[in-house]
Structures are given as structure tokens and as C-alpha cells.
Structure 1
């Protein structure tokens, strides 16, 4: 019997052929497809149904303010929905917040701003009962100040601020001209300082023109205050 050589034992019966050149490309393409499927499934976990998130809500448009241009001393803005009664011995914060949110829904003003105007009306109702200042006048002033691009919520001259500034909240802090609550309260004190009844045409115009003597300024405040007051009492 012939002796078997080592080379005949190790050599395969049929030598291996090289892979066709398209096979690696097919494997690569398959990997890409699998990766895409995984990504789609992952996105589907975080966004049910694969839907895009809803777009952000559009900001609410400001309340239209008709340009009335009333003549000085002829009329006053309408009275807005009165702020809650001032309660010196108990907390009235919850009532003020409820009122502010109710008026905010009708006037399209921020509830935090309305709280500041309403608090000033409440405090002046007790400190200067004959003034009859409405929050709507303060809102009208803030509207004109913002339209004119002046810095601060309501800007008062330094000498007026030094005389009229009082902290609007009982927290022991110093009044801050950049704080709307303090600025609204100081402005209310300034408008009522002369002792005039701003519920009368003569008193309102005198008070506003003490704040700013320009007739067009007072007319713009009148228009804004009247619009806010009217909206606040609408059904």
C-alpha cells in the first residue's frame, strides 16, 4: 500500500473560492437598513405614532386701544372692575389673585401686572379715600410708558420716587423702582398727593398732567385706561 504524504492529508478536497465583489457591499447596505429600522423604532417610543410635536401656542394679541383724543377736562376714563376690599388685619392675597386672573382674561394683561395695579388701588382706597383712583389709570400709564420705550415698569423722576416710594408688600425690604408693585404704588401715591378726586374730569386731568404735562400723553393714557376698564366689566 502506497504511503500517504502530509500534503495530501492537509489539503482540502475542494479549494475555497474568493467571495464575489458584490457580497461586502450587500452586507454594508444591510447594516444601514437595520440601523434605520432601529432608529425609527426608537423615535416611535419617544413620540407615539411617530408624529411631530405640536407647534408652540401663538402669544395672545394685545387688547386694541382706540385712539380717542378726548379734550382735557371734559371726561374721565370709565371705571374698571373694582379691586377687592383692602383688609388690613387679614390676608387678602387670594382675593387679589382671583380678581387679577379674572381681569387678565378680559383685558389680555398679565395677571402679575394687574395684581400690582389692583394692590395700589386697594391701598389708596384706605389711605386716600377721596382720590378714587382706579387700577385702569395705572394700567393706562404703563401702556403708554411701554409704547414709548421707557426703561422700568413705570418711570418716576428721582425726586418724586424719593418722596413717594413705599414698599408695596409687607416684607421689610426697601422699595425698588424696578419692581412693578412698588412702582405702581408710588405712582398711585403721586397721582393722589394733591388731594383731588380723580373720578371727576377736572381731578383726573389735573392728576395725569402733574405726572406728565403733555396733552397727547394724557390722551393716550385716557384711551388705554378706558379700553382696559371697558373690557374688565364686559360679560
Structure 2
């Protein structure tokens, strides 16, 4: 089940993205699929979304140091977002790399701050990232291209698709 606070963020990000770039045709279910796979909607490791949509405690991924099948990505932000000044780590409920956040980070809740640990901001940034380069997420090719840009693993994309499909089916079942 998707927490109400996360669902609110995914729906708002869909609406904002459709207004900004209607050709993308992004659905909240794709954002929810990514949120499920990346952090169980902000609940990974006992974390939770507070009323303001901030994940507490923060969700910080493993160091991307080239070990154990992970890519090696040297630090890009001086440790500002992830606390690691040697390697980058994915951060927040939508698990953004600092360099990707620097490009797509967004203020989804209108408080004047783009925070990858805040679900409205992270969902809005994920929507922009998925829709980049004029992608039409409602087409099969556009959907796969967008999700594989988010994470270059076919297994990852299949997990996102399965979750998104479950959420879509749940909203259409009488």
C-alpha cells in the first residue's frame, strides 16, 4: 500500500509535469513504481515520511565505489547531499545521485527549497527526469527509455513496471 503522503506527491508531480510538458503523458503510477522499488515510498530501513513529506531518518544509499556490482562514481557534490566526499550515494525517497539532483532537482512543495529528502520535491524531480529529452512515457519505447535512464538495469525496469501495473490495476478495479 502506498502511504497517503507519498500518493499525494506522485499525483501532484504528474499534474505539474503534464502542465509543463503535456507531450510526456507521465502517469503517477510510474512514479509510484519507482518510489516502491527505490525506497518503499520512503519507508526503507525503518524510515517514514513525516507530515511535511520529509523522510526521517534520511535514506542514503551505499557508496558507489565500484565494489559488489555497483558502479564507481566519484563524489560530485563535496558530500553536501549524501555526507560522502569520496563517492556519490543515492539519496532520498526517489534515490537521486547528487549530480542528477543538481540537474533535475525541483521544489515540488513550493517552499522555495529543492530537497531530495522531501517526497514532493523528489517526485517532481523524478517526473522531470523521466520526461527529459521529449520522452512520451505513455509509449512503450518512451517508458522503457525513461525508466532505464533512471536506472540502467532491465531487472530494475521490470520491477518498476510490475509495481506500476499493480497500482494502475488497483485504480481501475470496481
Q: Distance in 2 between matches of 1:163 and 1:146?
A: 21
More helix by share: 1
| Superposition deviation, residue 109 in structure 1 | 1.5
Q: Is structure 2 residue 157 aligned with structure 1 residue 218?
A: yes
Q: Which residue of 1 aligns with 2:31?
A: 138
TM-score relative to the length of structure 2: 0.69
Q: Distance in 1 between matches of 2:133 and 2:160?
A: 19
Q: Distance in 2 between matches of 1:146 and 1:170?
A: 23
SS of 1:178's equivalent in the other structure is coil
| Superposition deviation, residue 162 in structure 1 | 0.7
CA displacement 1:153-199 (0-9 Å, x = unmatched)? 1111111101111211223x211110011000001100001111110
Equivalent residue pairs, number? 127
Alignment partner of 2:133 out of 194, 199, 209: 194
**CA contact 2:39–2:95 (8 Å) conserved in 1:** no
Q: Is structure 2 residue 145 aligned with structure 1 residue 206?
A: yes
Pairing of 1:13-32 with structure 2 (within 5 A): none
Q: Distance in 2 between matches of 1:202 and 1:170?
A: 32
Alignment partner of 1:154 out of 91, 94, 106: 94
| Superposition deviation, residue 133 in structure 1 | 0.5
Gaps of 5+ in 2: 46-58, 61-91
SS of 2:108's equivalent in the other structure is coil
Pairing of 1:80-159 with structure 2 (within 5 A): 108-146=1-39, 151=60, 152-159=92-99
Q: Is structure 2 residue 167 aligned with structure 1 residue 228?
A: yes
Q: Which residue of 1 aligns with 2:105?
A: 165
Pairing of 1:36-75 with structure 2 (within 5 A): none
SS of 1:132's equivalent in the other structure is coil
| Superposition deviation, residue 234 in structure 1 | 1.3
Gaps of 5+ in 1: 1-107
Q: Of the two, which has the highest radius of gyration?
A: 1
Q: Distance in 2 between matches of 1:216 and 1:203?
A: 17
Q: Distance in 1 between matches of 2:152 and 2:106?
A: 24
**RMSD after superposition:** 1.5
Alignment partner of 1:181 out of 120, 131, 144: 120
Q: Distance in 2 between matches of 1:140 and 1:219?
A: 10
CA displacement 1:62-110 (0-9 Å, x = unmatched)? xxxxxxxxxxxxxxxxxxxxxxxxxxxxxxxxxxxxxxxxxxxxxx311
TM-score relative to the length of structure 1: 0.52
